[in-house]
Structure 1
Amino acid sequence: MNIANIAPHVYRGLCNASAALALDADRFVVADDEVSVLKVYRFDTPGLPLPGEDIDLHVFLGGKEEADLEGSALVGDTIYWIGSHGADGDGNPAPARRVLFATRRGGPGERLLVPLGRPCRRLLDDLAGTPVQQRYDLLGAASKAPKDPGGLSIEGLADTPEGHLLIGLRNPAPAEGALLLVLENPAEVVDGKPARFGPHLSVDLGGQGIRSIERHGDGYFIVAGPPGKGKEFAVYRWSGLPEERPRKLDVPQLSGLNPEALFFDPDGLLHILSDDGKDQPGGVKCKHLPADQRQFRRIALALG
């Protein structure tokens, strides 16, 4: 498969692009893992987000702590969003990060996206007794710093043809492959019911973890990266079949980026967003910049 570069673009208003989805052929929505706000941008107009379309999630999610949003997935007309579910960078408890929630398209007189149902904060608890919890002790992993060996960090979310959700782990990344949890009842979960998990999957990414995963047609595309620190990234195409290894793609455009969000638009272009929180112009830290000067990058790839 050949992959051709279409164009790099710079967008402003946030730095730490961590999850995104196309809303239609013109617009896409982005989450930042440092602030609990969703912003909407236009593909054809790099720059600031669309005015009046920001969604401040603090009231809906409760509290002022960051949700560390890391993944999104579209199932029917519902967009699901997931937090990292890990501890903070020092290994201290960070309950605000243990969240899965949903949004819906807004109707007349509403914003483009409107929160749906109620946030779920019991995913890890509902793993109790499952084979993946018994084997990897993900609840124990959640008490460690997310980038430490054996820590917990969720960074990928994708739909399945059955309407389930694949939850991709950056860390831990066992020798047998990066982990994917299979959530079978996401609509019930955001309606307050317990989570039901199917058998987990392992994907051989050469020792790397999952930074983003997206279904496209009959298969999946995955951005892989180190489970801890490091900037060695790769893009894989995977059939979705557990017995088949994913195929690494040649994507030289990743050089210099910190890819954290991968998604497709309705025309089939593959978009990858770079979390540029540590790569702002002049080396200034993101939090020290005015909002309209904070930036992230997008590359678009045509699959030929």
Structure 2
Amino acid sequence: MRLLPVCMGLLVWGCSAQGVGARRAPEAAAAVDGREVLVFEGMCDASGAVALGGNLFVVGDDEDNILRVYDARRGGPPVRSVDLSPDLQLPAAKKKAPETDIEAATGLGSLSFWLTSHGRNSSGKKAPSRLRFFATEDAEAGPRLVGRPYTRLLDDLLAAPRLARFGLEAAETKAPKAPGGLNIEGMTAMPDGRSILVGFRSPVPEGKALLVPLLNPVALVEEGARARLGEPVQLDLGGLGIRSLSWWRGRYLIISGGTAGEGTSRLFTWRGGEDAPVSVESVDLAGLNPEAFFTPEDAEEILLLSDDGTAPVDGVACKRLKDASRKRFRGVWVRLPGTP
């Protein structure tokens, strides 16, 4: 088992006298600073994941429309993968299908739900392909679409009277990482087993993160029903927005981060209701860019999945690599204080 080295305090794939490079990803876990680190191959930008049972999870990449299934204990290449581009009713393109910018995922019953950013592209231009809410079910050949992708969630959010005070209509006109731009990156099933909680990375109204319950997610994809939205919630995460959400063992887990990628992400727990979120100071996220969780209920630890799209591999940002076999992202197992 090879040890993943530490360079300048950051967890990286390989170090040399010339700087940070890439080594072949080990399939087994390696301990670094007391943490267990895995390297997953074939993609860089882990953005949302769902536990499938056992050690398997399915993960989305915000740079393509492929869902990949990995072994959470072994790492390495995907067990199986499926490109959902033909099923997502995307605008016609000359070369390849436009990316949907998958940013969040959650399991609900037997289904996996996926949510795209619902923002504009980085230049501030409208991007219809990024308006998708859809569901899949696991199959032997890989995830397959259930029902039809829902494309009107942004319209529902902008039309909801209870959300008017948050300025979403103005936010939607801006690039996602511009100050006050609209960008959705968090989603998790709620304890009632029927609803989903949606978390905004941006905007952060009055310096507090915004969460909105979606009360009828199944009806959106199976019937094309319009979204029913619950009472919004604002949480004080130190001025940060939401990068990822998960419900695990009676509490919400929240990865928070800057709206434009600035600063270091932080991990919070929140029991819902009037309780205040609690910062988990014992988990150091320096050197990681966590944007997804693998949180099986029967595990005593959680796996944080890092979006490593901008991490250098032989001097090239991982997401810019032409050879998909050289792409990889990291996962770090952590134990939360107070875990039963």
TM-score normalised by structure 2 residue count: 0.83
Q: Is the 8 A contact 2:88 2:149 kept in 1?
A: yes
Work out the CA distance in 2 between the residues paired with 1:24 and 1:302: 20
TM-superposed CA distance for 1:228, in Å, is 1.7
The alpha carbon displacement at 1:111 in A equals 2.1
Residue 135 of structure 1 aligns with which residue?
A: 165
> How far 1:220 moved relative to its partner?
0.3
Shift of 1:24: 1.4
* Letter aligned with residue 171 of structure 1: S
**How much does 1:173 deviate?**
0.8
Task: Answer yes or no: is 1:115 the counterpart of 2:148.
Answer: no
Q: Name structure 2 gaps, 5 residues minimum.
A: 1-32, 91-96
Of the three residues 239, 250, 256, the one matched with 1:218 is 250
Q: CA deviation at 1:280?
A: 3.0
User: Which is greater in Rg?
Assistant: 2
CA contact (8 A) 1:88 1:94 kept: yes
The within-5 A match list for 1:266-281 is: 266-281=298-313
CA pair 253-48 structure 1, distance change in 2 beyond 3 A: farther
- 1:127 aligned counterpart, secondary structure: helix
45, 57, 65: which is aligned to 2:84?
57
| CA distance in structure 1 between the partners assigned to 2:291 and 2:269 by the alignment | 16
Q: How does 1:1-304 map to 2 (within 5 A)?
A: 6-50=35-79, 53-63=80-90, 64-106=97-139, 110-162=140-192, 163-175=194-206, 177-191=208-222, 192-241=224-273, 243-265=274-296, 266-285=298-317, 286-303=319-336, 304=339
Q: Using a 3 Å threshold, how does the CA distance of structure 1 residues 21 and 268 change in structure 2: closer, same or farther? A: farther
Q: Return 175-184 or 76-85, whichever deviates more.
A: 175-184
Count of equivalent residues: 295
Q: With structure 1 as the length reference, what TM-score do the two structures score?
A: 0.92
Name the aligned partner's letter for residue 220 of structure 1. Y
Instruction: Name the CA distance, whole Å, in 2 between partners of 1:90 and 1:97.
Output: 14
Which 5+ residue runs of structure 1 have no aligned equivalent?
A: none
Q: Secondary structure at the match of 2:311?
A: coil
RMSD: 1.6
